[in-house]
């Protein structure tokens, strides 16, 4: 009686928030199965046109009592996605993992930079992209900046889903102390608490927590997770932090979850 089930929860973002770590860690729970790949069903028009049965066909086999989770961080920032997910399941649970917005922007930049370097291409410095040369203000057209304005994106989602259907995960704490964050998600998903300290061990070489499923099987995330960020001009960091501040306040207010971001 193994079946392919549509997800009952989706990690909709945020890109570089720790979406992979969150999915893999939730998969430690015996009642959670994960779609291994990012499916990009709701953000990619071509995939969306293939229909819901195509989407279901991408899901892993599971027992009826288990819940399927997928993660595609592009969902959070893509215009059409909230309506499309609503049409599939208006009571679906939505997980958003966030990090301090400036750190997230630099992480996003670092990923793109690495892609350019792999192709032997040069790329602008972060400072050049993040600050408008004419006005010396934050460049709100730069995607890595826009993605970090969490409240703007969330407000689009709230046209379809009530705030209770979202759970915000602290991506910075998932790095340093994952268990409490995972326990909050278990509760949000109405799952019994099953993930324990045994399942998570700090790997000093890796500099991150890794996963222990059982006595024989353990794993760390891929090397592409946890890149070294370039150093950013402190005045640019401050400018960005000041820029994000009011948006962060709004985000805390809407979600009821406060972070001590600058
Ligand atoms: N346990 C563990 N191991 C490795 N990495 C971890 C872990 N927990 C969280 N993270 C952080 O996850 C960041 C990548 O986020 P995402 O998986 O959302 O990136 S992506 O959008 O899917 O590309 C990645 O960001 P960077 O450090 O900036 O590379 C990690 O810091």
Segments of the chain assigned E as strands: 3-4, 9-13, 32-34, 61-62, 67-71, 93-98, 166-170, 200-203, 208-212, 218-219
Tokens of residue 228, six digits: 């070294």
- Helical H runs in 137-177? 143-147, 150-157, 171-176
Choosing from 18, 70, 98, 206 the residue with most ligand 1 atoms within 8 A of its CB, the one to mutate for a pocket test is 18
Q: Which atom of ligand 1 is nearest to the CA of 25?
A: 1
- Is 58 annotated as belonging to a binding site? no
pLDDT of residue 109: 98
Q: pLDDT tens across 206-221, in order?
A: 999 999 999 999 999 9
The DSSP bridge pattern shows strands 32-34 and 93-98 to be: unpaired
What residues of the chain score a pLDDT lower than 70?
A: none
Look up the CATH superfamily of 3-255.
P-loop containing nucleotide triphosphate hydrolases (3.40.50.300)
Does the interface ipTM go beyond 0.90?
Answer: yes
Q: pLDDT tens across 156-196, in order?
A: 999 999 999 999 999 999 999 999 999 999 999 999 999 99
Instruction: Please choose, from the candidates 159, 139, 163, the residue with its C-alpha nearest in 3D space to the C-alpha of residue 149.
Output: 139
pLDDT of residue 49: 98
Where in the chain are the domains?
3-255
Q: Does residue 58's CB lie within 6 angstroms of at least one atom of ligand 1?
A: no
pLDDT of residue 203: 96
Residue 255 host element (H or E): helix 234-255
Statement: the pTM of the whole predicted model exceeds 0.95: yes
């Amino acid at each position: 009686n193994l079946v392919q089930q549509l997800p009952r929860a989706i990690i909709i973002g945020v890109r570089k928030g720790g979406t992979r770590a969150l999915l893999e860690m939730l998969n430690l729970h015996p009642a959670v199965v994960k779609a291994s790949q990012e499916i990009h069903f709701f953000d990619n028009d071509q995939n969306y046109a293939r229909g819901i049965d195509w989407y279901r066909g991408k899901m892993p086999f599971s027992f009826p009592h288990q819940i399927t989770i997928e993660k595609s961080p592009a969902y959070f920032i893509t215009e059409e996605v909230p309506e499309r997910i609503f049409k599939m399941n208006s009571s679906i649970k939505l997980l958003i993992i966030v990090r301090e917005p400036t750190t997230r922007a630099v992480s996003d930049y670092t990923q793109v930079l690495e892609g350019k370097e792999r192709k032997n291409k040069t790329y602008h410095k972060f400072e050049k992209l993040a600050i408008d040369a004419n006005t010396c203000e934050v460049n709100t057209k730069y995607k890595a900046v826009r993605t970090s304005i969490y409240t703007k994106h969330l407000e689009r989602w709230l046209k379809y889903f009530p705030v209770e259907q979202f759970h915000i995960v602290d991506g910075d704490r998932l790095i340093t102390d994952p268990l409490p964050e995972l326990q909050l998600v278990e509760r949000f998903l109405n799952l019994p608490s099953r993930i324990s300290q045994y399942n998570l061990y700090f790997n000093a070489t890796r500099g991150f927590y890794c996963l222990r499923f059982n006595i024989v099987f353990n794993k760390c995330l891929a090397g592409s997770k946890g890149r070294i960020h370039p150093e950013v001009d402190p005045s640019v960091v401050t400018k960005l932090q000041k820029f994000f501040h009011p948006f962060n306040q709004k985000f805390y207010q809407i979600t009821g979850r406060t972070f001590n971001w600058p």
